[in-house]
Homo-oligomer: A and B are copies of this chain.
């Protein structure tokens, strides 16, 4: 599909009013109009600057409003109609500016009285955005080059306990994991640069362990160090990771924000592992906020090389269907000539059991698959835990049942008992 000439955004709306009229009010509020016509709002000006309702498809209707505060027509009992609406804006209004794009497509409109539901579903941008924002510098190719993992997912884990370990204890734990041949390790998003575990001390201890293991095995585990912080702090921490031989940095994108992530991405010489802490507030109500495919496009444009998508049969409240939609969306090109695909990161309760389902859903090995207990609680040790996950993925990609594949592999065989199938 060619890139659009205007900015386009799709919304799920719910309204007790005529959906077309409500959509027109939304288009007005987010462009030239106000609630009432004002002096200076000429037909020429509207033709030049107004947002347009490009499309409206009715979906269904509900008897009760999904959100409080919405208005309704006077008189008879209202019905709340749901529709998918596409609005478009001329580039002349804001130019290719990511922060101003956010205020335009996702500004005051959530508060409009016309709507008892409003959710941003998707987003398509003119190619001038790709000229201003180059997107991920590394993506899957750079991640594979730096980690030395090819033809299968990167198998990873998260440093736990989330907080409380000293820098030295963290280094020891990472040493054990690196010795076990793990591909990828990440900081917890709660661990950044607190007094109990200062960033530079942690990086020094961890990279000493990683480099020691790499010298012996030839394989350097990729560690995503959480540098979330202020602009200068993030730049300084990035440079320190790079100087210590590190190969990845992590940031909580909502805690940093758009302007900060743009700045970090311009500066970075390492892949950015994007954490979505706080995402639930924007998304958990299905009639409000943002869908992941729309929201993640902002961070792909900004330059996130990896983005969290939760995992199948996760321990959180998200459905498998939602996780799959999120993961697939990261592989869809953002622009015709600049795909800006980002590596999906699967996590939360992942074991050998979700490999087949994840493969069936995304049909690609280009992902990071992180497990906590799924690695470290393996009865034959951490190395066997890593091996079992690699073999579970090999089985999935070969279309072989995990039980069959396990017959030739002690690590995977032991996993079958240690991580029983759900419902088994």
Contacts and interface: CB of A to CB of B under 8 A. Distances in A.
Contacts of A277: 102-103, 106-108
Interface residues of A, number: 98
B256 A97 contact: no
Chain copies in the assembly? Answer: 2
A121 interface: no
A160 B285 contact: no
A38 interface: yes
Interface stretch (A25-33, A53-61, A361-369): A25-33
A347 to B, nearest CB: 10
Nearest to A30: B190
A47 to B, nearest CB: 9
A419 interface: no
A193 to B, nearest CB: 7
A70 interface: yes
Contact of A103 (B95, B99, B190, B233): B190
A199 to B, nearest CB: 10
Contact of A164 (B49, B100, B194, B262): B49
B317 A70 contact: yes
A164 B41 contact: yes
A161 B259 contact: no
A106 B281 contact: yes
Contacts of A113: 315-317
Interface stretch (A138-146, A224-232, A325-333, A405-413): A224-232
A112 interface: yes
Interface in A234-252: 234, 252
Contacts of A31: 162-164, 190
A30 B286 CA distance: 24
Contact of A193 (B95, B161, B318): B95
Contacts of A103: 189-190, 192, 228, 252, 254-255, 275, 277-278
A109 B32 contact: no
A190 B260 contact: no
A218 interface: no
A161 B260 contact: no
A34 B317 contact: no
Contacts of A290: 281
A106 B255 CA distance: 9
B107 A196 contact: no
30 contacts: A31-B162, A31-B164, A34-B161, A38-B372, A40-B161, A40-B173, A48-B196, A49-B164, A67-B284, A70-B317, A91-B195, A94-B190, A97-B193, A99-B192, A99-B260, A100-B190, A100-B229, A102-B252, A102-B255, A102-B277, A103-B275, A108-B277, A110-B278, A111-B280, A111-B284, A111-B318, A257-B257, A257-B258, A259-B259, A260-B260
